[in-house]
Chains A and B, each alone.
Chain A
Amino acid sequence: MRLSSRAESFFVLISPTIVIIFWEIVVRIGYVEPLFFPPPTLVLATLIELVKTGELQPHVFISLKRIFFGFLLGVIPGLILGLIMGWSRSVRIFFDPLISATYPIPKIALLPLIMLIFGIGEMSKIVLIAIGCFFVVLINSMAGVMSINKIYFEVAENYGASKYQIFKKIVLTGSLPMIFTGLRLALGLSLILVVAAEMVSANQGLGAMIWKAWETLRTENLYVGIIIIAFLGLLSTSILKRVERKLMPWGRT
């Protein structure tokens, strides 16, 4: 069965709607403990309440700020080094042992060390996110350059491209699809890391909010936190998709 795109955008809403309605009903008639699964209407009411009192916004704002700076701080050097490593075999061989050895470390395991070095303030959270983003973007952009068909480098050379032109027209452009894969993964990772860091050592931020909700057994606040994080994930991914379409009008190949 094929649906028109309008019908399709309606169709995708059906299954989540059913789940939410079902959830509401089973909680209301008492089959499920509301402490674990507060009814969706209550979560929604709590969300509105938290926005009205202005309690929610600072949490969202500070998490976003940490993600933003951590993302930039990790992505920029990761992208540059990744592209160069993909392009130059000798640079790749030089750095590869370091990258291969440090890449598999779960980044959260570094948090205590980072806090030791950078203190428990903003910097340690930003650095943790940056380290995570750095690796995924590096690995993906390097793979992106290496996947470019060699013939394009020959074409560029034959048609008189300078090193700089080759970098701009072949290395960077040709690896864009993989760069965007890396950026998408980096965004997802940023959300994970910011929440983890905030749960451990923060008074503000979505992770801290969720943790506090758990400590005070205010499950509906906990759900609000989860929903906001999910929403941020969706929003950032769709923004990135838009940028991707703008920068890559030839589409993914």
Chain B
Amino acid sequence: MKVICKNISMGYTTQNGPIEALKDVNFEVGEQEFICVLGPSGCGKTTLLKIIAGLLKPTDGQVIYKGEKSTNPLNSVVFQEHGIFPWLNVIDNVSFGLEMRGIKKEERYEISRKFIRKFGLARFEKNYPHELSVGMKQRVGLARAFVNGPEILLMDEPFAALDAQTKLILQEELLRIWKEHKKSVIYITHDIEEAILLGDRVIVMTQRPGRVKKDVPINLGRPRSIETENSEEFTSLKIDIWNLIKEEVYISIGA
């Protein structure tokens, strides 16, 4: 299934007057494509993701899901840090989407266990989130999205709160499992290296109001791993993208 963002604009009013968060955002996500949306903080990335997820209505423009009709949910979001329910144990968190669709307990547990194993959570099935590390919690969030079997996965800086090492491990895990299931992904991040490591394309956003500054194809072979980050191509991409985003960051920090 393809996702097309067409002329998306978003504004809202705050106590300090109206804010224009997004302006005329246009891009497409092809089937089985991994897209990273990269931008300085406060550029409306999360707002964009929520619009694509259908959680927010844009003031203008539309999100079009194009492709064969299926019974799968259109999208599932992997939220930032606090996205998993503290009052559900790991397996009930992971099978949440299936439960909401009325799938019987035995069946949804069976489907969930496959992903619980893939994400290395088998020993923690009955544990509650407060007993898990931050990395483990994000694994639960990822597993919950994959189990739901959506047409497209939407990820909102899922690894932003992790330490560097855990982040690397989870990035590799995500790539491995994504390759197995070949889903389309829109991945929001402010981390340039992460965007290059994960994405088929990196969409660089401007400072607020967020627009697409440039759509950068990442022609690095797969599978990618930490070694990829040492290659010359990676470094030159990193510099190119840094040059694109640098002035936006300057504006955002008021320099």
Interface size class of A (residues with CB under 8 A): 20 to 34
Which B residues have a C-beta under 8 Å from some C-beta of A? 50, 53-55, 73, 75-77, 79-80, 82-89, 96-97, 100-101, 128-130, 144, 148
B55:A154 contact, CB within 8 angstroms: yes
Residues on A with C-beta less than 8 A from B100 are: 156, 159-162, 165
- Given that A158-B53, A251-B130 are known contacts, is A151 also in contact with B97, CB under 8 Å in the complex? no
Contact with B along A236-253 (1 / 0, CB 8 A): 000000000000111101
In the complex where A155-B79, A160-B100, A250-B130 touch, is A174 in contact with B73 (Cβ < 8 A)? no
Q: List 10 A-B contacts (CB under 8 A).
A: A151-B80, A152-B85, A154-B55, A155-B96, A158-B76, A159-B76, A160-B100, A176-B87, A250-B86, A251-B130
Q: How far is the CB of A235 from chain B (nearest CB, A)?
A: 28
A9 at the interface (CB under 8 A from B): no
A49 at interface (Cβ–Cβ under 8 A)?
Answer: no
Give 10 A-B pairs besides A158-B55, A253-B130 with Cβ atoms closer than 8 angstroms. A151-B83, A154-B55, A155-B83, A156-B100, A158-B76, A159-B76, A160-B97, A173-B85, A250-B87, A250-B89
Q: How far apart are the CA atoms of A157 and B57 in the complex, in Å?
A: 14
A136 CA to B84 CA, complexed, in Å: 30
With both chains docked as a complex, state the minimum distance between the C-beta of B41 and any C-beta of chain A, in angstroms.
18
> Do B82 and A158 touch across chains, with their CB atoms under 8 A apart?
no
Contacts of B96 in A (CB 8 A): 155, 159
Chain A residues positioned under 8 Å from B148 (CB to CB): 159
Going nearest first, the 5 A-B pairs with the smallest beta carbon separation are: A159-B97, A250-B128, A160-B100, A161-B100, A158-B77
A169 vs B99: C-alpha distance in the bound complex, in angstroms? 11
Q: In the complex, which residue of chain A has the Cβ closest to the Cβ of B93? A: A155
Q: Which of B54, B76, B87, B97 has the most A CB atoms < 10 Å from its CB?
A: B87
B55 near A157: Cβ-Cβ < 8 Å: yes
Q: Which residues of A contact B101 (CB under 8 A)?
A: 160
Report which of A151, A162, A174 forms a contact with B87, defined as CB distance below 8 A. A174
- The one of B87, B128, B129, B130 in contact with A173, judged by C-beta atoms closer than 8 angstroms, is B87
